[in-house]
Structures are given as C-alpha cells and as structure tokens.
Amino acid sequence: MLFDEYKYFSFKFPEPQYLGAKYTHLSWINKFIPQNIKTALDAFGGSQSVSFLFKQLGLRTITNDFLNFNYQIGKALIENKSEKINTEDVNILFQESSQKSDFTLMESIFTNVFFERNESFFIDNFRANIPLLSNPYKQALAFAVMNRSLTRKITMGHFGHTQALVYASDPKRIKRNRSLVRPIKDLFLELLSKYNDAVFDNKQDSESFNEDIIHLLPKLQNIDLVYFDPPYCNSHADYQGFYHLLETYTEYWGDKKFINAIKRYEPQRYSGFDKKSEVVSSFKKLFELSDKIPLWLISYNNRSYPDILTFEKMISKYRDVTIEHKTYQNGRGGKGSVAGSKEVLFVCRPKKNYFVPKNYKKKLEHEKL
Ligand SMILES: C[S@@+](CC[C@H](N)C(=O)[O-])C[C@H]1O[C@@H](n2cnc3c(N)ncnc32)[C@H](O)[C@@H]1O
C-alpha cells in the first residue's frame, strides 16, 4: 500500500516544452519543501510543473502567471479536480463552426509564417468552438492541449524564429522530428489522453490566477510557502517573444499590431522582471509584499542579473537564507541552462530573533571603546 503522502504521485505531469520549466528539477526542489505546510503559492507558474508537484503533495495550491496561455494550464491541471475532455467534446471542437467567418486571425497573420493555410484554418475553426464546451475547465484543457500541440508542431519548440516551414520540408529534419509534418489534429489527439490522465482531486481548493504577481500578492492570505521562479534576467528569457503565438491564440487579440518576421504582438505585457533597469526594484516590491509568507523558495541561475551575492544580500534584509545549487550536465538551451551553468535555489526562512543579554551588550559596547 502507498504511504499517504505519495498517493497522488501516480498522476503524471504531461512533459512540457517551456523555457526554464523546472520539470527536470522537481525531486531536487521537493527536498526543500517542509512537510508541515498546507498552502503553497507558485508565483511565476509557467508550465505549472512546480504547481503540479505541490498538488501531488496534497497542498492547497495557488498558481499564477501573467500570460494567459500558462494560466489556462493552471486552470486545467491545478484548479480543475475532475473535468476531462470526452469524445463528445472532441466532436464539438472539430465540428465546422458557424462562427468561422469571425475567426480568421491565425489564417490571416500566421499562414506561411508557421503554418500551411489548411492548418491555420483548422486551428481557427477549433478556437471558434472552444467556448462551446460546457464549462471553463474543459475549455482550459482544450487551450492547454492545443497550445502544447502547436509547440510540438514547430521546430525548436518556440515561435521566436521563422524556420518552421523550411524545416518541415527538409527530409533530414523530418527524420529527426516527425511532428514537423504531422497534422495538428493528430498531435492534439495524441496529447489529449496525457492531459486528461493528469486531472485529479487532492481534496483541496486550488486556484489559478492570471495577474502581474505584484498586483496579486496583496490579495492573498494564509500562504505558508511561496515559490518564486522569475525570468532569469540577462539570459534571453524573452517569454513574450518565444511564445507570442500561444498568447495570441488564447487571447485572440483584436487590438494588437503583429510585428517583425515572426509577427509577435505589440505592445507586450509589462513584466518588471525581464529588464535590467527594472528588475532590482521589482524584487524589492516582491519581497516587501511577501513579508507575511513565512517560507520562500527562489529559483535562480549563476548567470542572472543581479549576481548571486548581490541577490543574497537583498533577500537577507527579509529572511535568513541558505543557497543550494545543482550543476547542469547537458545544455538544453534557454534561460541560462547551458552546460556548466548552475541552477540555484535560495531557501529562505523567517529571521531568528537572537536574544542578546543586557550584560553582554554592555560588554560589547565597552570593548568597542
Ligand atoms: C522561469 S518561468 C517559470 C517556469 C516554471 N517554474 C515552470 O516550471 O515551468 C517564469 C514565468 O514568469 C512569468 N512572468 C514574468 N513576469 C511576470 C509577472 N510580473 N507576474 C507573473 N508572472 C510573470 C512568465 O510568463 C514565465 O512563465
């Protein structure tokens, strides 16, 4: 029989393809999560891999990301307790939409950039049908699985380049990665069962948010542990450049410009954590607003700005800190994860109030003189 604390570990998180995802570091991070806590916040949720670990540990999990497509994964796999996409739902998603003439964004902007016209047409039609699913959890699952399928379809797993269609007609590339020429519909059906199987109820009321973390923090209460995994400033952590297509597909923007060869949306959302000129003051705000949360875990990288020692100094105003690290064996690209770079975890606990006896204080003052 399984021990109580492992009973949700039979559920598998669908493998993400996301810059800086902590999927491969979960068992290491887990070592620093104490057992006696109830509620954990994943402040920069991204692919939701760490939130999924929190949920598996039986915690009430609050997750957040300022990008809508990540929020949808949180809604689908963290907040959702039981809703899955069944055959009837799949028929709804694939049916010819009566609204199709209002849904032409992918076809008009991204045909011949990332997709052939028939594939753009297919995903527009699918997008028109998502609101017809009977509840927000099924809808969020449809977004999560479709967005993952679109990432699979594209070479290098992001949308910051224009090589997708070139590589999709290169036999050598296709041999290495069959997904380049597989229909999006097939990729969706293959991934769907993995996402459906990852839906479970850990008997807690978890929630997914879609806000700038600086705005969300003041509204939250009774959090025991917060995990911060901000973009690694200084290491090309351009989330809105790499994943613009997924955000455009989810938002179905009507009021943006689509610029450059990759047609990324403009203006972008404000992060506060991706520019050297802003990041230090954003961290100060973040730490001040988190003061009532006792435990902080902060992921970092030895190539980030500000550097590790400066950052440690900043944190030590608020918490007692220990620094843990793990060295990358293989570079997987992105977010500083090159071979030899170090993944760092700041483990931050409430400051100990040292009691200094009166006599000892006097003795120190005397010695100073
Ligand atoms: C390093 S990734 C998180 C990766 C995540 N831990 C995982 O395992 O997939 C950083 C995330 O922060 C989000 N982000 C950036 N600025 C933010 C802000 N001001 N508020 C909330 N999320 C933000 C980005 O969208 C990105 O998904």
Q: Which residues lie closer than 8 Å to 213 by C-beta, 6 or more apart?
A: 43, 44, 64, 66, 286
Ligand 1 pocket check for 22: Cβ under 6 Å: yes
Beta carbon of 18 within 6 Å of any ligand 1 atom: yes
Nearest CA to ligand 1 atom 17: 271
Residue 356 has pLDDT above 60, yes or no: no
CA-nearest residue for atom 26, ligand 1, is: 46
Residue 74: what are its φ and ψ, rounded to 5°?
A: -65, -40
Average pLDDT estimate for 188-210: 98
Report the share of the chain in percent with pLDDT over 70.
Answer: 91
CATH among 3.40.50.150, 3.30.420.40, 3.90.1150.10, 3.90.1200.10 for 4-350: 3.40.50.150
Confidence band for 336, pLDDT divided at 50, 70 and 90? very low
Inform me whether the pLDDT recorded for 159 exceeds 80.
Answer: yes
71 vs 328, more confident: 71
Mean pLDDT, residues 199-227: 98
pTM here is 0.93
Tell me the pLDDT of the chain averaged across its residues: 92
Q: Is the CB of 213 under 6 A from ligand 1?
A: yes
Q: Whose CA is nearest to atom 12 of ligand 1?
A: 44
Q: 128 is written with which tokens?
A: 């028109």
Q: Is the bond into 306 cis (omega within 30 degrees of 0)?
A: yes
C-beta of 106 in contact with ligand 1 (< 6 A): no
The predicted pLDDT at position 352 comes to 84
Whether 10 has a pLDDT exceeding 90, the answer reads: yes
Q: What is the DSSP string of 89-121?
A: HHHHHHSPPTTGGG--HHHHHHBTTTB-HHHHH
pLDDT in tens, 101-136: 999 999 999 999 999 999 999 999 999 999 999 999
The band of 179, judged by pLDDT with boundaries at 50, 70 and 90, is: confident
Atom 3 of ligand 1 has which residue's CA nearest to it?
46
pLDDT exceeds 90 at position 3: no
Is-contact 53 26, C-beta < 8 A?
Answer: yes
For 269-319, the pLDDT digits (tens) are 999 999 999 999 999 999 999 999 999 999 998 889 999 999 999 999 999
Is the pLDDT confidence value at 369 over 60? Answer: no
Is ligand 1 within 6 A of the CB of residue 242? Answer: no
Decide if 331 contacts 338 (C-beta within 8 A).
Answer: yes
**Of the candidate ranges 40-49, 180-189, 346-355, the one whose mean pLDDT is the lowest:** 346-355
